[in-house]
Amino acid sequence: MATRKEEMAGEGYFGNYGGRFVPPPLEKPLQELTTAYENLRGETTFQRELAHHMKHFVGRPSPLYFAEKLSEYAGGARIFLKREDLNHTGSHKINNALGQALLARELGKKRLIAETGAGQHGVATATVASFFDLECTIFMGAEDIQRQEMNVFRMELLGAEVIPVETGTRTLKDAVDAALETYAGDYDRSFYLLGSAVGPHPYPTMVRDFQSIIGQEAREQIIKRTGGLPAYLVACVGGGSNAIGLFHPFLEDREVEIIGVEPAGSGLDSNRHAASISRGSPGIIHGFKCYTLQDEQGEPLPVHSIAPGLDYPGVGPEHSYLKDTGRISYESITDREALDIFHLLSKKEGIIPALESAHAVALALKLAPGLPPEKNIIVNLSGRGDKDVAQVARYQSQGLFS
């Protein structure tokens, strides 16, 4: 594993992945951000204030819950759920949004800028902007705005301005371009808040740091509960932030096996998936190098997943590196399998999971029967499923996946 010093000195390289591939106007603000973050993160006052808000605003620590009925149903190993779904706003995204917003405030910025696809990251950003009394501008593709009315209304309730992007396919990629352009023109007073462990340096390192609280807590909780380390860790991988947050504090524990779960959509051979590691190749996307699903010209391919937070054609650079070193194995789960687990977990445990998280639970359910009962699996339940209920109801009424 690269040490932190090497990571920072190498401009954010994890092996051959990561880096910073951005147009000149973004180079200076990102360099300044890197220096500012490295200085602030070492300050006790910063860490103390972050810990305070994590506790009182987010509601941390999130429980590590023994899913007894699910484990019985699977037979074999015991399954524990790290309940990130119980955080304020319903997922792990708030951990990172809060950290970056506190950083923005410390740097004297007045406005948060972000883009959003399905709206989850936009809502988390609007929430922390309101909390720290910062202005908030969210860029969203006009097409996505139509599909995600409720999240648009949520962001507006929280005081954010949602700007429809009418260029290109009017979806996430176009929103990224518009948000970056606005940021480049206003970085003296604005902060660009990125939602996953992706993008140009320093974002993958910074986002991982803010999300590592998941693994730090889980490590303490499982030792206290069972007297030892878990046999397995499992988390879903979109950009990779909830996964690296759980995994990172365990990377040196060689006896812990780690599995990242990618979205196989309609199947890995269908061309309707978003399994960037399983089916992609190294390339550059959105300012960094990683495994990516790309065409012969290196352009990102269209991707699909039933889970809106997983349909991204790239993956974090640290995951790309950990795949090559073999420390983490990456598997995949289809839409169909995730949807089945969405129903199963709701009925068995009284927990409606996010469709993203259902991918991780589904993998654990395949794994558990082959293991003895004294082995423990920790699954990151990255979010709650309330956001997905209307969509799942629509699938049912249309007879899809029935």
Active site residue 257: no
Residue 387: strand pairing partners: none
Least CB distance from residue 306 to ligand PLP, whole Å? Answer: 12
Catalytic residue among 71, 190, 382, 387: 382
Least CB distance from residue 238 to ligand PLP, whole Å? Answer: 3
CA angle, residues 331, 336, 341, in degrees to nearest 5: 80
φ, ψ (nearest 5 deg) of residue 180? -65, -40
Catalytic residue among 7, 84, 115, 337: 115
Return the number of the residue (95 or 137) whose C-beta is nearest ligand PLP: 95
Return the number of the residue (101 or 198) whose C-beta is nearest ligand PLP: 198
Select from 299, 302, 296, 262 the least CA-distant residue to 278.
262
CA angle, residues 129, 56, 135, in degrees to nearest 5: 5
Positions that interact with ligand PLP (CB under 6 A): 91, 93, 120, 196, 236-243, 309-310, 354, 356-357, 382-383
3-state secondary structure at position 155? helix
Radius of gyration of the chain (CA): 20
Active site residue 375: no
- The span from the CA of 148 to the CA of 146, in Å, is 6
Least CB distance from residue 72 to ligand PLP, whole Å? Answer: 26
Catalytic residue among 7, 71, 93, 262: 93
Least CB distance from residue 337 to ligand PLP, whole Å? Answer: 16
- The span from the CA of 192 to the CA of 113, in Å, is 5
Least CB distance from residue 244 to ligand PLP, whole Å? Answer: 8
Return the number of the residue (105 or 300) whose C-beta is nearest ligand PLP: 300
- Three-state SS annotation for 204-251: HHHHHHHHCHHHHHHHHHHHHHHCCCCCEEEEECCCCHHHHHHHHHHC
Active site residue 382: yes
134 CB-near residues (< 8 Å, 6+ apart): 101, 104, 105, 109, 110, 111, 112, 128, 191
Return the number of the residue (129 or 360) whose C-beta is nearest ligand PLP: 360
Return the number of the residue (29 or 245) whose C-beta is nearest ligand PLP: 245
What's the Cα-to-Cα distance from 370 to each of 92, 133, 287, rounded to whole Å?
29, 51, 41
Active site residues: 93, 115, 382
